[in-house]
Structure 1
Amino acid sequence: MAGLTVVPDDIRVKIIDLLAQAARVKNGTSINPPLPVAEVMTDPDPFFGGAATGVEKELFKSLFEAATRLVFNSIIASIDIDHSEFVTMWNFLDIILECGDRDICQPQLMLLLIEELLDDQPVDGCRKIFDFLESRREAIIAASNSYALCSCPILTEQNSSKNKDLVILRLCNELLRRLSRLEDAVFCGRVYIFLFQSFPLGDKSSVNLRGNFHTENVTRFEDSISNPKADSDAMDIDKNPEVTVSEPMKTDGDGAAKDAPQAMDIDDLYPVFWSLQRYFSNPPLLFGEENFKKFQQGLEAALMKFKEVPTVIQSGDSDRKPGIELDDKRNNFTSTFTPKYLTSRDLFKLELSDLAFQRHILVQALILVDFLLTLREESKKKPFYQSSQKAMQYSFTLGEQQTEWALGIKTSIANYLQDGPDGKFYYRMVDTVLSRDKNWVRWKMENCPPFTLDRIPVEDWKSSQTGLQGALGRKKITVPQNTSDNLDFLYNTDPAEGLRKLRGNTKRYSKPGVEVFVNRVRDVDMDLDMATTEDERGKLDEKKRADTWRGLRLASEGGRYSIGKSGRDLTRLLQPAKIIEATGEDNAVTAPESRDSLPHEQHQSVEEQRAD
């Protein structure tokens, strides 16, 4: 440690020199392209710390961080982020990133500085900083190069990557807390995409292993109900009125249909509807019988009301045209995306008619119903459920009647979502997302097994190549007994005789008889009687026409015809003459053996059938 004579001011001067050199190398003032740091830091050890080891190395990194923060604070204090000279900050961050890769400083130092920079800037400034992060993402998450992790026994590659991941996760979460999900929806999406691209697919950092629900998401609405009619009658109104469960249409003894259940009044539906959000955010509440009954009644009443009210499509949902312009200031699309709906009683009627609002609520219901169906008795018997974490195993089991209701309401919601503009496409998208989400749930219940496989050892790979070469090696071709290995016999005999010997068994090449195609046509006729769809009948008709044509062609070559009122009825070819006479068709003619002996009219009719 006595050999370490570097002070922070010396490091600060060196960084300033590197920034001056960077200004000469990079002439632009934008974030991209990145600074070619290799042209600036040509010396492998530009900060005099390469000879230090152990404790001295860690002390040097602390001194380097202190000097770096001095330069960082001076840039922030002297240059505004909207000024063109702020490119000095981007060059400075590129240099610090390279220093982290060379193990000159802590690898997460650049991210720590960006975290402080985000805290110092408003949202518009954060967008520019995040542009820098996105452009350097691959370099940030890349593994340390050959300079890193070679001289410090304390720092390992795994710890280095983990420290970077923690800082990325923290700064992105802090940024998301500052952003408005309504005003900055696109920016929030960029942050989430950056997180997804920065972490591997099987990383547990964003996995809710204990299966906790978002119970803090509380939906507040007006509890009091103002009903003039009820006030005039001096009646007390329950704040949470019960809803009659909708049932199939009933009939009386004479078979006449009774009145179908009516949809609730909007004022009565208001508290029942918004109370559903309580179950959406905390599904275990449904494990109680009373809560399950209220949820069942409320969801049926909401779906019934959706079917009753006229649907309104907000502009921008389905009428959006290609080439939509972006807001230059906020870089947002014009859309009706709403992360949390207003619960005012005055707006409730308008919200019920909004197609986007209806789909938003019904998709929530589908998610919750799918969760309930995983609690069936047969679902709990599956092996992956038995071996899942205890926190994901619930004591509640969905009963038989509750399962029947859940399957029925799921079908009703699916049918309703497929109605309206682009309904089929919308439901297909929702169903695809929910199906894939089931796989993620199963992966989480199995304690997140890794997706990637370990690398194959070099020895195993070499042995497999040796075995593969042996399996694909040249083998000696054995000649079967009593056969010739050449075709010289074709030149020593008559050509016709040689062809006969080459063919061997001539039965393989014999033509099928007319009876074969007649039987095929009869089988197709039987299949036509059993066909239920137009597509199936069309395929069978095409097959019948093909077999009929082949049978008539073979019959014409053999001189057999049966042409009359039946037209192209192939089955009549095999009927004896007595049966034909018994049918009463005088113009049914059994052709002679020779085709040339036919009358001219019949000969022409046969040619027409062959052409067809």
Structure 2
Amino acid sequence: PEVPPVHVRPPSLAPPTCFAYIPQRSLFQELVALILHHRQLQGMDLFRKAIVQPGLPQDFALQTVQEAIKPQKHTKLVQDENQLLENILRTLLQELVSAAVQSGEEIMQYGQSVAEGESTEGQIPRLLDIVLYLCEKEHVEGGMIFQLLEDLTDMSTMRNCKDVFGYIESKQDTLGKPELFARGKLVMLRTCNQLLRRLSKANDVVFCGRIIMFLAHFFPLSERSAVNIKGVFNTSNETNYEKEAPDGISIDFNFYKTFWSLQEYFSNPASLTLAPAKWHKFTSCLMVVLDTFEAQPLSDEEGNANNLEDEASTFSIKYLTSSKLMGLEAPGKSDKDLPSETLKEELKTCEDRVKKLLTVTPPKGEEFLRSIEHILERERNWVWWKRDGCPPFEKQPIEKKSVQDGAKKRRPRWRLGNKELSQLWKWADQNPNALTDPQR
């Protein structure tokens, strides 16, 4: 019998054995993507014309959105339309930032012109103003302006970020409105935290302070994200000092190490109560420092020689721990649990000694001590507030119920004609006897 032919599948048609099957987009999907891309380009062209158009944003902003998106509703976009508009604006913003960088201009001043003595704002602030107006009037999704601001800070250098943040500060009241705040508070918090991480805490103190002050005003007082409920200490902020004495030093290096070693305990005070040996070491070091300061008090002449107002411009948030400066900065075991009463007595003794030293330290020792006590009092109240569950400080105003127009307010009816007589009648079970009661 004849052997049937063996049909061998061509290699080109053999199923892949080592690669996963990757589905290809259909022709319909390609067509949809092409249409969306075309609409995005058209929308970018319309907004390019809008940002150079004179006038207020309310004069043309909504019309520009309607021409770019062609929404189903006249004044408010649905989800897909919001997404398309966001893609248009974010792409346009990236394009403007790139153009500003290539031109060498500051991004917030890019496109700014001066004509006939009148200056126009840059194209990027103009774009942000348009989007902010649309978000405020709820024509578009309220979080869109916050997303653009986050993109802008991510694409900017720290020098340009100062200008961007200046714009944010100028629009703080509008951004803080309830309809916008609820949509963008987390994005704004993330944006500010990213800026703080990029900044140097030693060299950019003023900018860091601006960001923190903005957050304090932007978020309500009872915002839990800034409360530090657990009271965690910032142990990462270490104070570095010299562990070995350098050659040719003329100070008491043991006192130098003892003095700066106290910062290790101050950075995490809670750890002292958990280890009695650590507490005893801390108190012994503290006594050495206090004894030295009490034995060699600072004179009035030495205190007045340091003008704190003049030094404010060069103030640093980190301590100067060099051993070479020590002569200028300062004159000249049990394993059982520490009883709480003993701990309180030792703390009280140290507190009294420190207060006495601060009082006699010129200049303005008493004034400085009062400031410290005021700060500690506020901190104590802050701890109690967190302990009570952070109740809100804000109290909503009581709304008075307004009577509808044209409706007459019904007067209450009393059994005996008026309120006083009706109350008098209810004072006793036997009302005639109440009239002769001497206690009435």
TM-score for both structures, normalised by structure 2: 0.69
Out of 387, 390, 395, the position equivalent to 1:448 is 390
- Residue 326 (structure 2) aligns with: 348
Does the Cα contact within 8 Å between 2:135 and 2:142 map onto a contact in 1?
yes
Number of equivalences: 354
2:376 alignment counterpart: 434
Are residue 275 (structure 1) and residue 261 (structure 2) matched? yes
Name the stretch that deviates more: 76-85 or 181-190. 76-85
Q: 1:97 to 1:226 in 2, by over 3 A?
A: closer
Q: CA deviation at 1:183?
A: 2.1
Q: Tell me, in whole angstroms, the C-alpha distance in 1 between the residues paired with 2:419 and 2:364.
A: 60
Structure 2 equivalent of residue 187 of structure 1:
207
CA distance in structure 2 between the partners assigned to 1:98 and 1:139 by the alignment? 9
Answer yes or no: is the 8 Å Cα contact 2:135–2:144 preserved in 1: yes
Residue aligned with 1:451, SS = coil
Q: Contact (CA 8 Å) 1:417, 1:427: kept in 2 or not?
A: yes
Summarize the alignment of residues 371-410 of structure 1 with structure 2, pairs less than 5 Å apart.
399-410=340-351
Whether 2:115 is the aligned partner of 1:85: answer no
Q: Are 1:221 and 1:344, in contact at CA under 8 Å, matched by a contact in 2?
A: yes
Please report how far the alpha carbon of residue 475 of structure 1 lies from its aligned counterpart in structure 2 after TM superposition: 10
Instruction: Say whether the 8 Å CA contact 1:309–1:353 is kept in structure 2.
Output: yes
Summarize the alignment of residues 208-607 of structure 1 with structure 2, pairs less than 5 Å apart: 208-225=228-245, 266-287=252-273, 288-307=275-294, 308=296, 310=298, 311=302, 316-318=307-309, 334-352=312-330, 399-419=340-360, 420-454=362-396, 456=398, 458=400
**2:308 alignment partner, SS class:** coil
CA distance change for structure 1 residues 226 and 406 in 2, over 3 Å: closer, same or farther?
Answer: same
Structure 2 equivalent of residue 108 of structure 1: 143
Residue 7 of structure 1 corresponds to 36
Task: Tell me whether 14-23 or 419-428 shows the greater mean CA deviation.
Answer: 14-23
Q: Distance in 1 between matches of 2:140 and 2:322?
A: 55
| CA displacement, residues 448-501 of structure 1 (integer Å, 9 cap, x when unaligned) | 112223554655999xx999xx9xx9999xxxxxxxxxxxxxxxxxxxxxxxxx
Measured against aligned partners, the alpha-carbon deviations of 1:136-159 in whole angstroms (never above 9, x if no partner) come to 111111123xxxxxxxxxxxxxxx
> In 2 relative to 1, CA 466–12 (structure 1 residues): closer, same or farther, beyond 3 Å?
farther
Specify which structure has the bigger relative contact order, considering alpha-carbon pairs within 8 angstroms and separated by 6 or more residues: 2
Q: Deviations over 1:409-435 (max 9, x none)?
A: 212212222331222222222211211
Please name the residue that 1:125 is paired with.
160
**Equivalent-residue separation in structure 1 for 2:45 and 2:356 (angstroms):** 67
Amino acid of the structure 2 residue aligned with 1:63 = L
Partners of 1:67 and 1:206 in 2: CA distance: 34
Alignment of 1:76 with 2:111, yes or no, is: no
What is the Cα deviation at residue 218 of structure 1? 2.6
Using the size of structure 1 for normalisation, the TM-score is 0.51
The aligned counterpart of 1:61 is 82
**Counterpart residue type for residue 48 of structure 1:** K
Q: Which among 29, 51, 73 is matched to residue 51 of structure 1?
A: 73
Displacement after TM superposition at 1:219 (Å): 2.6
Does residue 197 of structure 2 align to residue 177 of structure 1? yes
Structure 2 CA distance for aligned equivalents of residues 416 and 100 of structure 1 = 57
Q: 1:84 to 1:73 in 2, by over 3 A?
A: closer
Aligned partner of residue 313 in structure 2, secondary structure: coil
**Alpha-carbon distance in structure 1 between the residues aligned to 2:145 and 2:291:** 56
Matching residue's letter, 2:93 = F
The alpha-carbon distance between structure 1 residues 345 and 309, as it changes in their structure 2 partners (threshold 3 A), is farther
Contact in 1 for aligned 2:303/2:363 (Cα 8 Å): no
**Whole-Å separation in 2 of the counterparts to 1:460 and 1:314:** 67
Residues 279 and 295 in structure 1, CA contact (< 8 A), matched pair in contact too = yes
- AA in 2 matched with 1:280: F
Is the contact made by 1:49 and 1:104 (CA closer than 8 Å) also made in structure 2?
no
Q: Percent same amino acid among aligned pairs?
A: 27
Amino acid at match of 1:335: S
Displacement of 1:107 in angstroms is 2.1
In the other structure, the counterpart of 1:202 is 222
Q: Displacement of 1:115 after TM fit? A: 2.1
1:69-98 per-position Cα deviation (integer Å, ceiling 9, x unaligned): 221121111123264515100010111222
The structure-2 alpha-carbon separation of the partners of 1:123 and 1:309, relative to structure 1 and needing over 3 Å to count, comes to farther
Cα distance in structure 2, aligned partners of 1:317 and 1:205: 35
1:319-355 deviation digits (Å, cap 9, x = unpaired): 58xxxxxxxxxxxxx534221113332233333369x
Task: Provide the rounded CA distance (Å) in 2 between the counterparts of 1:266 and 1:460.
Answer: 78
1:118–1:126 Cα contact (<8 Å) kept: yes
Which structure 1 segments of 5+ residues have no match? 27-35, 145-159, 230-264, 321-333, 355-395, 477-612
Distance 1:133 1:466, change over 3 A: farther
> For the residues of structure 1 that align with 2:338 and 2:385, how far apart are their CA atoms?
21
C-alpha distance in structure 1 between counterparts of 2:211 and 2:339, whole Å = 39
8 Å CA contact 2:238, 2:264 repeated in 1 = yes
Pair 1:165-2:185 in alignment: yes
Contact 2:52 2:123 in 1 (8 A): yes
Partner letter of residue 68 of structure 1?
A: L
